Structure 1
Amino acid sequence: MSAVKSVSPRTIAWAALAIGGVGLGIGLLLAPRDTLAACVASLLGLAGIPLGALTLGLALAPVSGSVRDQLWPWTLVASRAMPALLVLVLPGLLGAGLIYEWMHQYSDGFRGFWLWWPSFVIRGLLYVGLWCALARWLLPTTLRNPAGAGLGLIAVVLSVSLAAFDWAQSMEPHFASSIFGLLWLGRLMLSGIAACILFSLFAGASRPGVLRGLLSAAALAWIYLHFMQYLIVWYGNLPEEVRWYEIRARDWPLLTWLVALQSLVFIVTWWPLSGRRVPLAILAGSTLLLGLAEGAWLSMASLSGLSGLASALALFAAAAAGAGMITLLILPRRSA
């Protein structure tokens, strides 16, 4: 019995990274388009841990109260994983020709420059570079520099919106939504809050009921943003915008229902027992998992001709590799 030891989180993370990396390598050989689309989807879903935590930390820094005391230190921990996004973003940037229809269309003027492949790659790297810089140098100083937190928050909102348009919305070139960037920002905030709540609970959060209220508010904001886009599409009754929803309801029903399940988090938070540690941890963990479903719903569902099995396996591999990498960066360094 003494020889049997519990497996450390670092070992599990390395195993997930290795298994996911092997799976992605096989997927790129057998089903490259499905695999590249899954890499973009996992990026959209997993980015909420470091990028959502960065946004949360910048928003909490200028205020005071129990929420900031319990969560702000953990935004520093979660944002340590930001360099992982530099790796996660590369497959979608380098393999853009297989998943973005506009790559094969000619445009002139500013549109041509914006949709030029080198411009697309440089923008993607600049987005992630900006987020890494904000997490590394600005976020730790924001408690004594609230003005910097405000400017950083503006930079995050603008860059996240542009990244959402580039990486996800442009997979369906005929669909346009002015609040699409806010949809992804809402998901990032929801996942970032969920991740920081989990860290705080594992560390023995003093007031979990307060954290429950923040998760409920974030879920309500997420519902509102999705409802507003749907309402605008319904009211406008434009064929291309309606088609965007029809494809998801008809061809991706399971994914659509998984995304809709996020609404249950808001409803369950009305239950008084959800303020206890274990139920709240389950709600936060479920929110992180559903973020992967929404990442695929926002991106992969726009592509035609994907294989359901190949896409699911590729998404699992990409999520495993990404989660393993993020976990390794978040875990504390081993002492010498």
Structure 2
Amino acid sequence: MAELGKYRVPEELVRMRSVFLGIGGLALIAWAIGVYLDPEQGLRSWLLGFIFWGGITFGSIGILMLQYLTGGAWGVVIRRVVEAGSRTIPVAAVAFIPLFWITKYHYWTTWGPDDYAIEHRGWFMTPESWILRSIVYFILLFIIVYLLNKWSAAQDKAADHEEAASWLGKATAFSGPTMVFYVLIITFATVDWVMMLDAHWFSTIWGLLFVVGWALSTFCFVVALLAYMSDKAPMSYILGKRHFHDLGKLMLALVMVWTYFNFSQFLIIWSGNIPEETGWYITRMKGGWLYVGAALLLFHFAFPFLTLLQQDFKRRMKQLAWLAGFILLMRLVDMFYLIAPNPRIDKTIEKGAFIISWMDIAAPIALGGLWMWYFIGQYASRPVVPVMDPFLEKAIEHGRGH
């Protein structure tokens, strides 16, 4: 199993890097023109793309730690995918730089320094504090990514399985307490980056909504990628139906948890009937936003839930991959639903107006192309599986079961 050259990424995937780079570059040029003409809309659209693709980066970090903590065959076969996803954090960091200008074009400019929410929160709601906190989030996540990937690379170079197991144990011991800090980092980050778009809105479950949502995005991305490689060497030897069945069950669980958290948030806030909280939902229950919310209920929950309940469906990797891609599309719609209705600087636009800009499409495509280009490079830099993991053989055998 230690023959590293035997477990390289399929060449078909590597050749797609230039395609993704070209698509991302063209979309980036289009977005740059748009942001010059309309800075506020351009930055809101860029935030949408960042939250979606950066979410897969951050979700990969969480899933990487989760698979160390829980074990299981599914974790072994997807480890290198989520490791490569976690190593896209430099792309997420660079993509975040344009959002520094949101402090000029949105967060505090929208409400003004005399607004009671801004004034009451003091230094916490200043641009300098927001930027400083964001830098700290990235530094902490960089440290987590660096250590986990360093130990994984050391495991590949281990002389025997006993040494490899020691590196596995170190990563597992690290992931336990670090998972708590990870959830806190994501909570504070998403409060700053998304919830603060409306200074009068707050939710105590906000961070968990993103932890679960980004984990679902990551699993859907993993399933789509592995299904593409399932008939190409070496993954054709490694992957089996039971691996996809396990991943499908995890997708089902996260679809249900995402729905439960959203419904709990809605029920508690609506029954509480506090104007500062219910106003956020009232905005999203008018005009076009009502239909977007209904679409999320039907196609982010009901359709995937009923489909994934079927045991045989989860074993059909190609069909599961199509569903994963559909859920990813709905994840983007969900992020749009959270971001787009928030108040704007341009007061000629009615609060909560239903607006879909072409930049809401261009920015995610631009970031997606660049993200995929970098991801494939990282994924191709290591074997597609942890070749010295003491549980690899059992994990591969597990996939061939019935």
Q: Return the TM-score normalized by structure 2.
A: 0.76
Once the two structures are TM-superposed, the CA of residue 223 in structure 1 deviates from its matched residue by 0.8
Match of 1:287 among 315, 320, 327: 327
Once the two structures are TM-superposed, the CA of residue 222 in structure 1 deviates from its matched residue by 0.7
1:189 touches 1:218 (CA, 8 Å); kept in 2? yes
Deviates more, 1:134-143 or 1:318-327: 134-143
1:45 touches 1:294 (CA, 8 Å); kept in 2? no
Residue 267 of structure 2 is matched in structure 1 by: 231
Residue 112 of structure 2 is matched in structure 1 by: 104
2:212 touches 2:258 (CA, 8 Å); kept in 1? yes
Match of 2:38 among 31, 49, 53: 31
Residue 202 of structure 1 is matched in structure 2 by: 228
Residue 138 of structure 2 is matched in structure 1 by: 128
The one-letter code matched in structure 2 to 1:192 is T
Match of 1:169 among 189, 195, 208: 195
Once the two structures are TM-superposed, the CA of residue 327 in structure 1 deviates from its matched residue by 0.5
Structure 1 residue 73 corresponds to structure 2 residue 80: yes
Secondary structure in 2 aligned to 1:104? Answer: coil
**Structure 2 unaligned spans of 5+:** 1-11, 152-166, 231-238, 382-402
1:55 touches 1:156 (CA, 8 Å); kept in 2? yes
Match of 2:292 among 255, 258, 265: 255
Structure 1 residue 296 corresponds to structure 2 residue 303: no
Once the two structures are TM-superposed, the CA of residue 224 in structure 1 deviates from its matched residue by 1.0
Give CA-to-partner distance per residue, 1:275-332, whole Å, 9 cap, x none.
11111101111222222212221122212438866x4311111101110111011113
The one-letter code matched in structure 2 to 1:210 is D
2:48 touches 2:336 (CA, 8 Å); kept in 1? yes
Distance 2:186 2:34 in 1: 28
The one-letter code matched in structure 1 to 2:343 is L
Structure 1 residue 151 corresponds to structure 2 residue 177: yes
Deviates more, 1:282-291 or 1:296-305: 296-305
Once the two structures are TM-superposed, the CA of residue 42 in structure 1 deviates from its matched residue by 1.6
Structure 1 residue 314 corresponds to structure 2 residue 359: yes
The one-letter code matched in structure 1 to 2:88 is A
Distance 1:56 1:201 in 2: 18
2:63 touches 2:82 (CA, 8 Å); kept in 1? yes
Secondary structure in 2 aligned to 1:154? Answer: helix
Identity of aligned residues (%): 23
The one-letter code matched in structure 1 to 2:377 is P
Distance 2:137 2:86 in 1: 15
- Highest CA radius of gyration, 1 or 2? 2
Distance 2:63 2:107 in 1: 31
RMSD over aligned Cα atoms? 2.6
Structure 1 runs (4+) greater than 6 angstroms displaced: 107-110
Number of paired residues? 330
Deviates more, 1:198-207 or 1:291-300: 198-207
Distance 2:103 2:119 in 1: 21
1:39 touches 1:315 (CA, 8 Å); kept in 2? yes
1:78 touches 1:196 (CA, 8 Å); kept in 2? no
Distance 1:7 1:224 in 2: 39
Task: Name the CA shift for 1:95/1:172 in 2 (closer, same or farther; >3 Å).
Answer: closer
Once the two structures are TM-superposed, the CA of residue 7 in structure 1 deviates from its matched residue by 11
Structure 1 residue 277 corresponds to structure 2 residue 317: yes
Distance 1:134 1:283 in 2: 31
Task: Name the CA shift for 1:77/1:268 in 2 (closer, same or farther; >3 Å).
Answer: same
The one-letter code matched in structure 2 to 1:162 is F
Once the two structures are TM-superposed, the CA of residue 152 in structure 1 deviates from its matched residue by 2.2
Deviates more, 1:184-193 or 1:106-115: 106-115
Secondary structure in 2 aligned to 1:61? Answer: helix
Distance 1:21 1:245 in 2: 33
Distance 2:92 2:121 in 1: 26
Once the two structures are TM-superposed, the CA of residue 215 in structure 1 deviates from its matched residue by 0.8
Residue 324 of structure 1 is matched in structure 2 by: 369
Give CA-to-partner distance per residue, 1:145-200, whole Å, 9 cap, x none.
22211122122100110011111111111111111111111111111111122233
Distance 2:259 2:106 in 1: 28
Q: Return the TM-score normalized by structure 1.
A: 0.89
